Amino acid sequence: MKTKEKRLVLDAKGLDRVLTRIADEIIERNRGAGNLVLVGMVTRGVVLARRLAGKIEQSEKKAVKVGVLDVSFYRDDFRSAKKQPLVRVTDIPFSVQDRDVVMVDDVLYTGRTARAALDALMDLGRPRTVQFAVLIDRGLRELPIQADYVGKTVSTSPDEEVRVKVREEDRVDGVSLVEVEK
């Protein structure tokens, strides 16, 4: 499938500003970073979680642990998918028990990935709270999932996609709205 960029949603500076705001909101809501851990969803959610942790650490002068969560086997479409998912490692080298966990993803769309992440997280323990941070909320939900922290809301149609690029994976930072040409 070919894609055509419709518009730039965030450039590198805009992406950094949004992450700074989300980090500040996380600190405020949790009254600091004392009980906080971040869990990034593979792939770009992990990068964003690490950046948020850096911003929180800079502000609070306290290290924030970051884990990596792959939800491939928890997805409700796992067995019905036409192609096998690329499974990556879940690496959460700390207990989530009684912690304030912020799950981080790049785009919230149907809510299915967030639901799978909740299932995976609960298999690891019982957090005190679970919060959800996303860079982009594109709407069109299929499940009653809502993010606690949203970088930017972008109205989309089903034939559009939000493409998040991060320098750690893509050598450039930015978010674009693209049209999928069939």
| Domain 12-80+88-156: assigned CATH number | 3.40.50.2020
| pTM, rounded to two decimals | 0.92
Predicted local confidence at residue 61, as pLDDT:
97
pLDDT for 145: 96
pLDDT value at residue 123: 93
User: Across the strands, what pairs with 163?
Assistant: 176
Longest CA pairwise span in the chain (Å): 50
pLDDT in tens, 11-44: 999 999 999 999 999 999 999 999 999 999 998 9
C-alpha dist (Å) from residue 75 to 52, 107, 113: 25, 16, 7
What is the predicted pLDDT for the residue at 86?
56
Positions of the chain with pLDDT lower than 70, given as ranges: 75-88, 182
Q: What is the pLDDT of residue 89?
A: 81
* Rounded Cα gap, residues 20 and 51, in angstroms: 9
Query: What's the Rg (C-alpha) of the chain?
Result: 16
| Strand stretches in 11-88, DSSP E | 36-41, 65-69
> What average pLDDT is seen over the chain?
92
Q: Domain residues of the chain, as ranges?
A: 12-80+88-156
**What integer pLDDT is reported at residue 88 of this predicted model?**
64
Residue 31 three-state SS = coil
Residues 164/14, Cβ–Cβ less than 8 Å: no
